[in-house]
Structure formats: structure tokens, C-alpha cells
Amino acid sequence: MKLYEIGEFGLIKKISRTPKRKEVFVGIGDDAAVIKVGEEFILYTTDMMVEGDHFRTEWHPPEKIGRKAMASNISDIAAMGGMPEYALVSIALRSDMEVEFVESLYKGMYDVADRYGVDIIGGDTTHGSLMVINVAVTGRTDKGHLTLRSGAKTGDYILVSAPLGGSRAGLELLKRGYKEPKAPIEKHLDPGCRMDIARDVALFASAMIDVSDGLASEVRHICEESGIGAIIERERIPLDRETMKAGKILDMDPYDFALHGGEDYELLFTVPEENLNKVRRYGTVVGRIVDKDMGVRIENGEIMDLKGGYEHFIE
């Protein structure tokens, strides 16, 4: 069987085992693993970027590659309602690379790490025929802030923290040699993360996930882990003007960027009706959680299954 037949998530299911240590509160299947230590929850996450696939040195300055590598990991800690603490950074480098390139890469990582109080405390360095950067980040949270993918309930509202699709729009522009509109290109190169609101949202959200693989995929993850269904209203998905402009220039549907693109590193969260007013300022309602037997659907005049999203080995 080939990997493209089962995809990234099919593969992860195959290789997953139930953890043996009793302190593992959440293993594989959320944005970060959760280990219960006394009254606290320690969070562990890791994300890898491969040259040519996740970034291209022709258009991605080293400092921004570093920023994105660090931010994408901190984003997973944010999605758990956690505070990030430590990072381990492993890099494979080509021997003919400039030392200054690697220094800039680290400047980017340190800048983002410093902003969120993260120390880089170790890692590994090796050579390779392609550059690979792997960052692992640990964090910490408490019961009140811990927000899993599995907590959504029927009737909850589904919100996203900001307009989506910018990163994918930027990638498509770069692939075709466009230098404008600038905002989506910048969103792709330096997406940041939503630590600024995550802890506040976490107090009221029933479930949360970061948007790394597109809205469609993230909604399905929440539904799968929570054992419920969802209906997304396509016209409520927020898109900014520059992303819509990119869609026009490229003759592509900007809603597809939001639904199936990914790498926006915004937050998608669910809240019970009674908490909606407390989180309205942090996001836009895009749909509701429904019973499992109603499926995971999108309404766009007609109602259809919510398919797609970025998945390694398949696209």
C-alpha cells in the first residue's frame, strides 16, 4: 500500500498506540500532547519544515523561515490554551550554505521565541541534501485554560479568530511570480500565531484547534475528536479584501484558500451559546455544532459534505 492511498492522517492512525504511562492525559490526536503533573498540564508539540515543500529559499528570506518554524509550534501550544516555555531546534543543512543564512534563520526563531518567553534549550545539527528544520516546543497550562479538540458539544457555535485563506493566496501568488497584493504574501511568509488571544478564548471555549491545514480539515478534526457533527455556512467564512483580490488575479476561488489551504495559524474554536458574548470580539461565527448523525457539512445554497483540506502525501 502506498502512502498516497491512506494519506497523512491514515498513516498516523496506523502508527498510533495507546500510551502506557498513566500520566498521559492526551496522546496523539490533539495539537499538543498533554501530560498531567500534579494539578498542572505539561504540553509537548513538534512541527517540521522541509525545503522545497514548506518553504523555498528563492522567495522565503531565512529570518522569516525561522519565524514561521517557531510560530507554527507556539500556535499549537496556543491552541491548547497553554503558555509556551522551551524549544528544541533540529536542523539539517547543506554544506554549501552560507553561515549568515543560518544566523538569520536563528535570528527569526529567537525573535519569535523572545516575544513569547520561550528559551531555545537544545536541538541537533546535521547535514542533508535538503534543508530541514524541526522545532519542538513545550508549554504548560491549568485545568481552567486547557482546551482540547474533544470538548465540542451539540449547539456550540464555531468561530474563527480572523479572516482565513491569506496564506494560501500568498503561496499561489508567489508560485506564479506575483509580488502583490502584499498582505497575503506576507501572511504566507510570516504568519505569526494567536497567543495574543488564545488564553482568553480558552477560558470560554469548549474546543480549540489552530488552522494549519485549512478550515475544512480542522472542523473535521474537532468533529472526530468530539464525536459530533458540524454545519459551516460558507458565506460566513471571513476573507479579507486582499485575499479576495488575489483570488481575482489568480482566477481562483478565495473560499477554497480558506477551506483547503492552511498555514493561516489562526484559531478555530467552539463555544456554548451562553459564552458567545464573551468571545465575540475574538472571532467570527462560521457555523454550529450538530449531532454526529447529521455529519460534517457545509451550506452554500445546498448542503454538502465538508471535504478537503491539506493532507501530506495526497496533494
Which among Mg ion, ligand ADP, none contacts residue 242 (Cβ within 5 to 8 A by kind)? Answer: none
Q: Edge-to-edge strand order for the sheet containing 33-37? A: 24-26, 33-37, 40-50, 132-141, 83-93, 119-127
- In angstroms, give the least distance from the CB of 265 to Mg ion: 9
Nearer to ligand ADP, 8 or 233 (CB): 8
One of 212, 226, 243, 270 touching ligand ADP (CB under 6 A): 212
Q: Which class for 202: exposed (0-12), middle (13-18), buried (19 or more C-beta within 10 A)?
A: buried
Task: Verify binding: residue 30, ligand ADP, rule CB under 6 A.
Answer: yes
Angle between helices 166-175 and 241-250 (to 10 degrees): 30
Q: ∠ CA 148-123-54 to the nearest 5 degrees?
A: 65
Residues 74-93 that bind ligand ADP (CB under 6 A): 76
- In angstroms, give the least distance from the CB of 245 to ligand ADP: 28
Q: Which residue has the cell 458540524?
A: 230
Largest CA distance in the chain: 58
- The three cell numbers of residue 99 are 553561515
Stretch near ligand ADP under the rule CB under 6 A, chosen from 27-35, 58-66, 139-147, 233-241: 27-35
Contact at 8 Å (CB) between 67 and 135? no
Task: Verify binding: residue 29, ligand ADP, rule CB under 6 A.
Answer: yes
- The three cell numbers of residue 66 are 525561522
Which among Mg ion, ligand ADP, none contacts residue 47 (Cβ within 5 to 8 A by kind)? Answer: ligand ADP
- In angstroms, give the least distance from the CB of 220 to ligand ADP: 11
Residues 15-54 that bind Mg ion (CB under 5 A): 31
**What is the contact mask toward Mg ion in residues 194 to 213, using x (rule: CB under 5 A)?**
----------------x-x-
Amino acid identity, position 98 = E
Task: Verify binding: residue 311, ligand ADP, rule CB under 6 A.
Answer: no
Binding interface with Mg ion (CB under 5 A): 31, 76, 210, 212
